[in-house]
Amino acid sequence: MQVFSSSDHHAHHAAEFDGGTLIPSWECPERADIVDAALRADHRFAELFPLDWTLVQRVHDDGYLSFLEGAWARWQTTESSDAAMGTIWPTRGFRTDRVPENLTAQLGHYSFAIDCSIVEGTWQAIRSSAQLAQSATHAVIGGERVAFGLCRPPGHHATADQLGGYCYLNNAAIAAQQFLDSGTARVAVVDVDYHHGNGTQSIFYARDDVVFCSIHADPGHEFPYFSGYADEMGHGDGEGFNHNEPLGLGTGFDEWSAALDRCLARVTDLGCDAMVVSLGVDTFELDPISRFTLTHDDYPKMGEQLASVGLPTSILLEGGYAVEDIGINVAGVLQGFENR
């Protein structure tokens, strides 16, 4: 399997609030380093393809992209702290149709959670992460059966114009759009992260050229709380093309695997021609911020299931915060996929 990786992710190590305390983010550079090391022996690390910025612009709002590019420099002219993050948000009763000129207000306008700050190297890292997603997808379009993008920061929580959940640019949505622009008629995005991929859902919610399926913890109890319920099935042209499988806390592999079977049946029934996998391994039993109970032995089985639909597939890294185990679990998924 071709793997696409970059050291640019080291430029980004953000902060987040956890229990009212500002801490280094759980989404840390070591995550990608350990996955990289775990894959070196068994996979081909390939040269990156150039970043196609027009694909990013097809997915994300131009104003949001301009904000991301300039936020850190602007922050440095007004503040002295090491991380920029929102402190006020346009919640119910506030206007959302106007973008304020004030940077603090823009940090709120363009975010939905306080777990996702901007630091000096964030712009470099998120551009590189999008390039990895594009490179893996480019390889698949070029004839590879499957390729893996070791994306960091992750992307599935990022909407067209908001960051949150450690995510800034939606790598999976960019990859799906790349497939479509290459001539693929319909693309599946299968999200197996512990948390609902609210950003990917929102981007494609009214479209029928992308089938979005997500297996995740019940949002009544887990982030992102306000998205990911079973009755969210798409809108307008997208009605019937969105499928959520919210599962209870403590879910093990048998129940989880049955949910994946239902998702993959939707992918097949709706005639998808290619697949993007948002691969989060925070479903692991020892993950510090998640509460499913999958084990090391379950991840190769997951890979085999994903491969069973027989589609050209771009696999992109999302979550997984049991840092010592993340390499074992990602390698297991990729090996299971290849062995199918």
Q: How far is Cα 135 from Cα 129, in angstroms, rounded to an integer? A: 10
When comparing pLDDT for 78 and 149, which is higher?
149
User: What are 229's two structure tokens?
Assistant: 């319920």
Residue 277, phi-psi category: left (phi > 0), alpha (psi -120 to 50), beta (remainder): beta
Q: What is the number of residues in the chain?
A: 340
292 band by pLDDT with thresholds 50, 70 and 90: very high
Q: How far is Cα 224 from Cα 164, in angstroms, rounded to an integer? A: 9
20 band by pLDDT with thresholds 50, 70 and 90: confident
Catalytic residue among 12, 157, 196, 243: 157
| Mean pLDDT of the chain, nearest integer | 97
pLDDT per residue as tens digits for the range 197-233:
999 999 999 999 999 999 999 999 999 999 999 999 9
- Residue 65's alpha-carbon distances to 235, 303, 310, 312, in angstroms, are 26, 34, 35, 30
22 band by pLDDT with thresholds 50, 70 and 90: confident
What is the arithmetic mean of pLDDT over 40-49? 95
pLDDT per residue as tens digits for the range 170-201:
999 999 999 999 999 999 999 999 999 999 99
Question: Is pLDDT at 147 greater than 90 in this prediction?
Answer: yes
183 neighbors 252 (Cβ within 8 angstroms)? no
Closest of 335, 211, 205, 340 to residue 276, by C-alpha:
211
Domains parsed from the chain with CATH numbers: 2-15+25-51+120-339 (3.40.800.20)
Which pLDDT belongs to residue 318? Answer: 98
14 band by pLDDT with thresholds 50, 70 and 90: confident
Question: Is pLDDT at 159 greater than 90 in this prediction?
Answer: yes
pLDDT per residue as tens digits for the range 233-287:
999 999 999 999 999 999 999 999 999 999 999 999 999 999 999 999 999 999 9
Residue 138 a catalytic site member: no
User: Which residues, at least 6 apart from 24, have a Cβ–Cβ distance to it below 8 Å?
Assistant: 13, 15, 16
- Residue 141's alpha-carbon distances to 39, 40, 68, 177, in angstroms, are 22, 23, 29, 12
CA 158 centroid distance within chain: 8
Which pLDDT belongs to residue 5? Answer: 98
pTM over 0.95: yes
Q: How far is Cα 172 from Cα 194, in angstroms, rounded to an integer? A: 16
Question: Is pLDDT at 289 greater than 80 in this prediction?
Answer: yes
Least confident of 66-80, 241-255, 281-295: 66-80
Which pLDDT belongs to residue 79? Answer: 75
- Percent of the chain at pLDDT > 70 equals 100
- Percent of the chain at pLDDT > 90 equals 93
Q: Locate tokens 């089985």: which residue? A: 301
What is the arithmetic mean of pLDDT over 165-169? 97
Which pLDDT belongs to residue 334? Answer: 98
Which pLDDT belongs to residue 100? Answer: 96
